[in-house]
């Protein structure tokens, strides 16, 4: 037993211990059994078919090589090093198994992943963009590229420190993982710059998804209680509508991003609230759906009536537009009416196959007419009396299937005998 002051010999890794045990065991076997075992062993690690005698010869050569390497190095050499040397020089090491499979997968993942956010990195972005473009060309489908940038992120680092800035970046990654569909991909391509690839997504859907990402980002940032109002700017480019090559689409998305970013920066310096910019008249004409602006903010919407409040009487009198309300107009009680600013634009689902499955049993199905930040409008083919609260699963193009609780807030009969119902989301 070694003395208390002696150093214990270093413990060998598992694979080296296994080879040492294998060498000791083979010494006690007769030649036929040794050759049979070594034939299977070399077949497993080299994927080659050798005769038993050849396998025994390779093993003996490995033992001799180990002794020679030990003499040259002046220290013990593990069997694995000698075995790899013999197999490599003999040409038998065609499919080397040096790393465990799980370790290899970790190396591959680390090579394409941003360590801070867990998102894919810029290297994989370039490879994925070309693959998605080729797929979009082959199947004649749209592909949307979205470049995202954090507004006033530098102020967070300056005011709260870089560790807090890292929290904001991780919050951005959490936002993208929560808001995107399974077919979409998110990448961190710079310090506070991110990119999204949205297959089979046109301009309207890409704009709606970008606004959803920005709205979710505001919610996720709230627990951080930052003194800086960090927000998210976006620029969108569509294949093949805007361009057909990757570098052209990136340039267009960057231009739209920084046009919006500079406009918001100017608003911040002027002391005004951050709003999205509207393209000026001298800009190049864009698609039917503007990718740079959601347009003017909507008027407040009454929770009771789901309509914008009427203009004051004095304003209508000045315009000469005072007229008595129609006989069928609903009577609105002023104390019960209150308005809230809509947090995000409604997205029309017209022309899509968007639908909602109502109730836990899924016995009722409705068309989705539009979708907003706070609720959804649905249409049923028949007259249905829905309960005050119900469970539903939404299936819309811009989202994966979403389980929600709904509260009907308004109802309207259609000329075809159906029912249109506006529902708010309930936590």
Q: Which of 38-42, 143-147, 332-336 has the lowest mean pLDDT?
A: 332-336
Q: 308 and 246, same structural domain?
A: no
262: domain CATH number is 3.30.70.270
Residue 107 lies in a domain: no
Number of compact structural domains in the chain: 4
Residue 105 lies in a domain: no
Residue 382 lies in a domain: yes
Q: 226 and 187, same structural domain?
A: yes
Q: 182 and 151, same structural domain?
A: yes
Q: 242 and 372, same structural domain?
A: no
Cα(244)–Cα(228) distance, integer angstroms: 39
Domain hosting 314: range is 299-319+334-342
Query: What was the pLDDT predicted at 188?
Result: 94
Q: 240 and 144, same structural domain?
A: yes
Cα(175)–Cα(215) distance, integer angstroms: 9
Cα(27)–Cα(42) distance, integer angstroms: 17
Per-residue pLDDT reduced to its tens digit, 356-405: 988 766 678 898 888 877 888 899 888 877 888 888 888 887 677 888 88
Q: 313 and 358, same structural domain?
A: no
Q: Which of 28-37, 176-185, 237-246, 358-367 has the lowest mean pLDDT?
A: 358-367
CA distance to 92, 267, 350, 373, 375, per residue, from 343 (Å): 66, 19, 21, 6, 11
Q: 355 and 256, same structural domain?
A: no
Q: 246 and 140, same structural domain?
A: yes
Residue 26 lies in a domain: yes
Q: 247 and 121, same structural domain?
A: yes
Q: Report CA dihedral (387, 375, 143, 217) to the nearest 10 degrees.
A: -130
CA distance to 3, 47, 330, per residue, from 92 (Å): 46, 8, 87
Contact present, 300 and 308 (Cβ < 8 Å)? yes
Among 47-61, 70-84, 90-104, 240-254, name the most confident range.
240-254
Q: 305 and 261, same structural domain?
A: no
Please, what is the angle between helix 246-269 and helix 122-139, to 10°? 120
CA angle 325, 379, 214 (to 5 degrees): 90
CA distance to 5, 170, 190, per residue, from 112 (Å): 47, 17, 14
Per-residue pLDDT reduced to its tens digit, 178-196: 999 888 999 999 989 999 9
Q: 358 and 246, same structural domain?
A: no
393: domain CATH number is 2.40.10.220
Residue 294 lies in a domain: no
Query: What was the pLDDT predicted at 268?
Result: 58
Q: 418 and 399, same structural domain?
A: yes
Query: What was the pLDDT predicted at 228?
Result: 87
The average confidence (pLDDT) of the chain is 77
Could you tell me which residue, 295 or 109, shows the higher pLDDT?
109
Query: What was the pLDDT predicted at 95?
Result: 52
Report the predicted TM-score, pTM, of the whole model to 2 decimal places: 0.46
Residue 104 lies in a domain: no
Cα(194)–Cα(203) distance, integer angstroms: 19
* pLDDT over 50 at 315, yes or no: no
Per-residue pLDDT reduced to its tens digit, 263-313: 776 665 555 444 443 333 333 434 444 454 444 434 433 333 444 444 444
Residue 384 lies in a domain: yes
CA distance to 43, 55, 73, 162, per residue, from 49 (Å): 6, 10, 33, 58
Which residue pairs from 381-386 have beta carbons closer than 8 angstroms and sit at least 24 positions apart in sequence? 381/416, 381/417, 381/418, 382/417, 382/418, 382/419, 383/413, 383/417, 383/418, 383/419, 384/419, 386/358, 386/421
Average pLDDT rounded to a whole number, residues 160-187: 92
Residue 157 lies in a domain: yes
Query: What was the pLDDT predicted at 305?
Result: 41
Query: What was the pLDDT predicted at 109?
Result: 77
């Amino acid at each position: 037993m070694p003395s208390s002051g002696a150093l214990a010999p270093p413990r060998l890794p598992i694979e080296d211990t296994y080879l040492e045990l294998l060498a000791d065991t083979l010494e006690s076997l007769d030649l036929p059994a040794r050759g049979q075992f070594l034939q299977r062993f070399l077949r497993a690690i080299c994927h080659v078919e050798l005769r038993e005698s050849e396998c025994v010869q390779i093993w003996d050569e490995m033992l001799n090589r180990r002794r020679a390497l030990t003499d040259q190095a002046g220290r013990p050499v593990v069997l694995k090093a000698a075995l790899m040397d013999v197999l490599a020089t003999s040409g038998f090491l065609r499919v080397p198994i040096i790393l465990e499979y799980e370790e290899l997968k970790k190396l591959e993942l680390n090579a394409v992943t941003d360590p801070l956010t867990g998102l894919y990195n810029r290297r994989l972005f370039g490879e994925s963009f070309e693959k998605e473009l080729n797929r979009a060309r082959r199947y004649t489908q749209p592909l949307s590229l979205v470049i995202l940038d954090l507004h006033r992120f530098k102020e967070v680092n300056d005011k709260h420190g870089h560790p807090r800035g890292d929290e904001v970046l991780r919050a951005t990654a959490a936002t993208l993982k929560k808001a995107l569909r399974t077919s979409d991909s998110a990448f961190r391509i710079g310090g506070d710059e991110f990119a999204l690839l949205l297959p089979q997504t046109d301009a309207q859907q890409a704009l709606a998804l970008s606004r959803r990402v920005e709205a979710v980002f505001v919610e996720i940032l709230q627990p951080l209680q930052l003194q800086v109002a960090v927000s998210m700017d976006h620029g969108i480019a569509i294949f093949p509508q805007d361009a057909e090559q990757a570098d052209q689409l990136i340039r267009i998305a960057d231009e739209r991003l920084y046009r919006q970013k500079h406009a918001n920066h100017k608003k911040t310096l002027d002391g005004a609230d951050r709003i999205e910019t509207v393209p000026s008249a001298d800009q190049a004409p864009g698609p039917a759906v503007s990718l740079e602006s959601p347009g003017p903010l909507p008027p407040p919407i009454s929770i009771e009536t789901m309509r914008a409040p009427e203009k004051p009487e004095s304003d209508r009198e000045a315009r000469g537009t005072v007229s008595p309300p129609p006989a069928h107009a609903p009577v609105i009680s002023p104390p019960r009416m209150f308005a809230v600013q809509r947090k995000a634009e409604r997205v029309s689902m017209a022309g899509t196959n968007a639908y909602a499955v109502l109730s836990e049993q899924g016995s009722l199905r409705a068309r989705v007419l539009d979708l907003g930040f706070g609720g959804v409008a649905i249409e049923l083919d028949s007259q249905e009396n829905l309960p005050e609260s119900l469970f539903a699963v939404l299936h819309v193009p811009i989202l994966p299937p979403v389980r929600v609780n709904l509260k009907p807030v308004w109802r309207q009969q259609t000329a075809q005998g159906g029912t249109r119902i506006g529902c708010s989301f309930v936590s």
